[in-house]
Structure 1
């Protein structure tokens, strides 16, 4: 190995390591592993949502497909919407006829206030009910 190769190889290795860490930390990076109650996050096998923490994790993966596995009460959380104008939800959410209850949103200064703040034309929400909101 010549002198230039010996100098460049450690630099390239460090750059690849930094790029890998940066990509794995992107909040909306599709394919990143998150904790859900089941599923693969595809349209055919959506992530199964059964807890308030599962719901919160959707905000970290705006490209995935999700399905409620049961009714969920989030009464002890002040909700931050899923998606925004700058980072819209682009996946799919099927409530499967289940209900989300206890939703509290306090965002008077924002236009994108709701369970979902902003959904792109690529995304969809269906079969979802709310109670005691």
Structure 2
């Protein structure tokens, strides 16, 4: 899988939380990995497949997600203002949108702007980091 952003920088921990897979979110666990970026920068498709556009939060239509699904993976890339449409077919590495400012949305300067990536492999939620980092380091854009 390709990285959603260039360069590849993991969010890790900031004062608002942890961006790694499985980090505590109170009663639940973080279901993905956060990649640090700059609001307005291009976001790339981690995987090839059919697009579905959605909202990150049920109570708001401002923060968007791009879901890409194929026979092996479903990838949700969050905090992305899409330039693709639901039903489109994209290839791994295609520009799918621009990074939104999640920190501004939450009214904080302490959160690093990031693209959240969740991956399901054959229907099972899995840690995206080992799937993305090695591929991107070996096969840069």
Structure in which a larger fraction of residues adopt strand: 2
Q: TM-score range by the shorter chain?
A: under 0.3
TM-score in terms of structure 2 length: 0.22
Q: TM-score, normalized by length of structure 1?
A: 0.23
- State which structure, 1 or 2, has the greater radius of gyration over its C-alpha atoms: 1
By percentage of residues, which structure has more helix?
1
Higher relative contact order (CA 8 A, sep 6+): 2
